[in-house]
């Protein structure tokens, strides 16, 4: 069964999912310092995971939400953040070259 966007429930930094109306909502992830990334996380989850697959990895295999998504290519950084990080890395290597010359 695929994830459905309208079944996600946001409680501040907590994200849960209603699997069916007979059960309590299931914990999906906590966004302690990055609530702004919740939408990107949900979209990736919907596109790349079945409900059973994600909760098996979370509850049975005891993997963290970020590790589960990263295993399928999730990048928590925005395009702008990734570009900034790449610039910082390039600058670092240029400085190393100068020091080693």
pLDDT given for residue 83 in this prediction: 82
pLDDT given for residue 97 in this prediction: 82
pTM for this one? 0.72
pLDDT given for residue 24 in this prediction: 82
Beta carbons of 3 and 41 less than 8 angstroms apart: no
Q: Consecutive 10-residue runs of the chain (101 residues): their mean pLDDT?
A: 94 92 87 80 95 96 93 82 83 82 73
CA separation, residue 54 to residues 48, 60, 62, 95, 101 (Å): 10, 10, 11, 43, 50
pLDDT given for residue 79 in this prediction: 77
């Amino acid at each position: 069964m695929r994830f459905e966007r309208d079944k996600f429930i946001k409680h501040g930094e907590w994200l849960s999912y209603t699997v069916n109306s007979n059960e309590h909502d299931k914990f999906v992830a906590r966004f302690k310092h990055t609530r702004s990334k919740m939408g990107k996380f949900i979209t990736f989850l919907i596109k790349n995971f079945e409900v059973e697959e994600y909760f098996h990895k979370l509850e049975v295999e005891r993997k963290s939400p970020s590790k589960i998504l990263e295993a399928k290519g999730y990048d928590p950084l925005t395009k702008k953040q990734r570009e900034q990080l790449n610039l910082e890395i390039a600058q670092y290597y240029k400085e190393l070259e100068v020091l080693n010359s």
